[in-house]
A and B are shown apart, each in its own frame.
Chain A
């Protein structure tokens, strides 16, 4: 597995979830600003050389996280740079809204390219639209003395933004992916989370007899089963090289035996009738709502689930996330975790420096704490959850990462790099889970899409190691 640099003890230290501070901070002088209370480290006010009185423009996806946290970061920006400002506009369907401006050569300075209908990142990078964020990564951190900006972020959390070694965007939300259940329901029924896939299937049998459907997934969006199940199971069975080969478009990468085994394990959920009736006709929020009513016991998702369903979650539901079991009980704790919600700066925007400076404010410790407190998720910022009360969901996610120790699984990059393969995975996954395709057919279809991408010289290719 990828030996992630986040070790067991260091993770607690990183997030500060156990209430530990980072010792170094008191040594160096700091300037404390009044409004947001941010303590700017000495010599960290303007390492990127932002010109005074810069009025910059930001346009951001406003989804599950809202955009109040971005407004808070803009407040920090304004306070650190009196006279300058960053405007904040929250939008949906980023691609449709911003494409005309990109074509016209008049993009905003900084954007959050997330959500449905976002811009194709591979194309943006391939066409040279995005700024090299190298200077930002090596700039002094805003409120963590003695560190560069890059050093204050969780190790590995920005890997997906590396294209041929160049940082093209930064992820601002740290997400854990896995299988969710209601702790209250399981306690009431006396069910224990299984340690192997065979254990999962026999628990499913018990659950089914009790009149509850064992599984559901985000029906019309079957790709949730890619990051929820297929990715971690394949890594647990076959090691980290498989997804790297998939990303690098290695011929026959999808035909690896571990892929076949994992797909057949997943297909067993359908073949045994463990998937809730009607699941394929539901949207993501509809299926999650069914799950919240205990119509199904398990659902795959990332840690945004809690915030997304907050308004309709019954009291005392106690949702918790667990890593997916595989063939080997000793690998149960291995879990998928990565950072998402990519923020980008345009290379031909009016104020690319302001865009980068804003990201330095957004991923400051002060902003990360505000995010943890008010949005209930965490930023990949060291010490960003210090002294913050976290929910049962977030606590279980942090515990899962902690249990995984060095075994944080590496996630594939092909969904962002090659949208054609991702589309095919989505379609084939739906077919597999409704019994319309076998595991072999899934592999044949997706390998075909991968081969097409490799042979299509118009698609810009990326490499990773």
Chain B
């Protein structure tokens, strides 16, 4: 009986497993080998150098600079994006007027391509024709910040774009969670005289825990990546103030022909994401509340 069961399952799984091994596992394992080599990305084969690349990374200021920018995103983005998403989800689910309109509008950036968003926002931040600078000039501020041209503001300008782009997605996740919370709980709370705030913090938020956990993992992956938006808006500049691991490894591979070193950075990046994901699941583990 048992043998029979596998006899049926295997043929169904096989195509997916074969494709996955061929197009995901095989290239990944090959890339892992490249991380221990020196390779210019041309015809000559990679040369094995052991841990040299990782050793070099430890003393590479540009690596630490990029990593610390990723860490800033990692601390800021979850708090701001998820907080904002939660707030919007809560407000919209209060049966406000035009509720569908808001839902579509806030979700809209999520369906746009990153490149389009990068270009669009480059215009928003444009120092002479951009809407921000024009508004600031209109209210009498003579020299508004050069958003993407100033190392002090560039990173935060990108944070704002990322929040704008991703908050809608998390809002939808939270709204789905809110819809599944039984009405009776809210009615009971209302009878007990709970206000909006108490209702949110005592009922809604705790019951959204599962959604929050998965959202945290998603936003962590976003914060560790940031390639698309950075590459289209600043390419890591000015003066490396928005450089992240993904743009740094791109530069090493495609500008400086150091594919081995670039791949070793990619590996470190991969490990960080895995560890963070496991950590988030471990730390946030709670008993699921059945309702």
Contact = CB atoms under 8 A, between A and B. Distances in A.
Contacts of A156: none
Q: How large is the interface on A (under 10, 10 to 19, 20 to 34, 35 or more residues)?
A: 35 or more
Given A123-B257, A219-B149, A129 B43 contact: yes
Contacts of B126: 281-282, 286
A102 B43 contact: yes
Contacts of B256: 120, 419-420, 423
A348 B126 CA distance: 46
Interface string A217-238: 0011000000000000000000
Nearest to B40: A123
Contact of A96 (B151, B234, B254, B257): B254
A278 B126 CA distance: 8
Interface in B231-283: 234-235, 237-240, 251, 254-258
B147 interface: yes
Interface residues of B, number: 30
B244 to A, nearest CB: 16
Main secondary structure of the interface of B (DSSP, over half): loop
Given A120-B256, A279-B149, A423-B255, A430 B40 contact: no
B41 A220 contact: no
Contacts, number: 90
B286 to A, nearest CB: 46
A42 interface: no
Interface in A407-445: 419-420, 423, 427-428, 430-431, 434, 436
Given A278-B133, A278-B146, A281-B125, A117 B44 contact: no
A459 to B, nearest CB: 9
Interface in B101-146: 125-128, 133, 143, 146
A127 interface: yes
A458 B38 contact: yes
Interface string B40-55: 1111100000000000
Interface of A: 95-96, 99, 102-103, 105, 117, 120, 122-124, 126-127, 129, 219-220, 277-282, 286, 290, 295, 348, 419-420, 423, 427-428, 430-431, 434, 436, 458
When A and B form their complex, which 10 residue pairs have the shortest distance between CB atoms, in order from nearest?
A: A278-B127, A280-B149, A281-B149, A123-B257, A281-B146, A281-B127, A120-B257, A127-B42, A123-B40, A427-B239
17 contacts: A103-B43, A117-B254, A120-B40, A120-B255, A123-B42, A123-B257, A124-B42, A127-B40, A220-B235, A220-B238, A281-B150, A286-B126, A348-B43, A427-B237, A428-B239, A430-B239, A436-B151
